[in-house]
Copies of this chain bind each other. A is one copy, B any other.
């Protein structure tokens, strides 16, 4: 029997509808691999002259003597550019802003064809460190309002290349979806005087039915109002609104949790296409104190979303998602695969 569920923080409703036909589940027939010879992210193929934003030297034996272990470069075809000036303009009733911002590519490994669940821990720790470093650097530019870090793996997730990479996009405006979640988190805090995500972690650790994995620093769970089948969130146990504050110990634990989640999803769903999304608080704007107290009412986390269903006109029309797999069943299955499947 189906039911509607409300996310306690963002306030969005979803329909959990297990009676739907399994036909919505997309299987990945052919692994997505783009040619290595022409891959712009492979060592030796670096397109010059590209300004290198960051590079970590290679000390890892598994990277076979590549000159770097991780590299951050500007996107060759950026959706926004840091070189442009920030200009706001009205056009009758409309508003626009020049394409100011940042769009960076984090080349996560010298290896061309490596899925996230096959990353060595040490390599993933480098990726998580690079995210922190780039986030903290870009935060200094106060014209920026929001920094989004995400990774696409597989064609259905939006990836263009099979070489593992993540992207950072910084915008001078707070995107609508983010604003909705922030507003909800603030309202929760104002009503309860507690962080909603901290409450959620407490309840999930008590209920246990939606838990997928936990370690010293993090819990991984299928959210109560999952928009997507087998969606998993990874949340730090210690409250912080800002990923930029992550400690070296937390990076070890997050790499462990992110790998565990991706490994179990890879087995359970046959290496699905997948998005990983970092949700962290926006950059406070000095002259507007609106988000200045966000330390209290936001809690950074990762969202891991296998792309196994396709949104229909209904999702596009309303923003209300129909999810055929109750998160309790998804978590139960993932725990079972973890216990027996490897």
Q: Is A248 an interface residue (CB 8 A)?
A: no
| Nearest chain B CB to A84 CB, angstrom units | 8
Q: How would you classify the secondary structure of chain A's contact residues: helix, strand, loop or mixed?
A: mixed
Interface size on A, residues (CB 8 A): 79
Contact A150 B13, beta carbon cutoff 8 Å? no
Residue of B at shortest CB range from A309? B158
Q: How far is the CB of A222 from chain B (nearest CB, A)?
A: 13
Checking B157, B176, B315 against A12 with a beta-carbon cut-off of 8 angstroms, the contacting residue is B176
Q: Is residue A180 within 8 Å, beta carbon to beta carbon, of the partner chain?
A: yes
The reply on A1 being an interface residue by CB < 8 A is yes
Whole-angstrom CA separation of A21 from B171 in the bound complex: 20
Partner of A200, one of B20, B93, B148, B199: B93
- Copies of this chain present in the complex amount to 2
Assess whether A3 is in contact with B199, with CB atoms less than 8 Å apart.
Answer: no
Say yes or no: is A312 at the interface (Cβ < 8 Å to chain B).
Answer: yes
Contact (Cβ within 8 A) B180 A4: no
Q: In the complex, are the beta carbons of A175 and B318 less than 8 A apart?
A: yes
Bound complex: CA of A189 vs CA of B336, how far in Å?
53
Beta-carbon nearest neighbor of A84 in chain B: B1
CB-CB under 8 A for A176 and B320, given A13-B171, A171-B4: yes
Neighbour of A148 across the interface among B94, B177, B196, B318, CB < 8 A: B318
Q: Which 5 residue pairs are nearest across A and B when measured between Cβ atoms? A: A177-B319, A158-B312, A2-B99, A150-B313, A175-B320
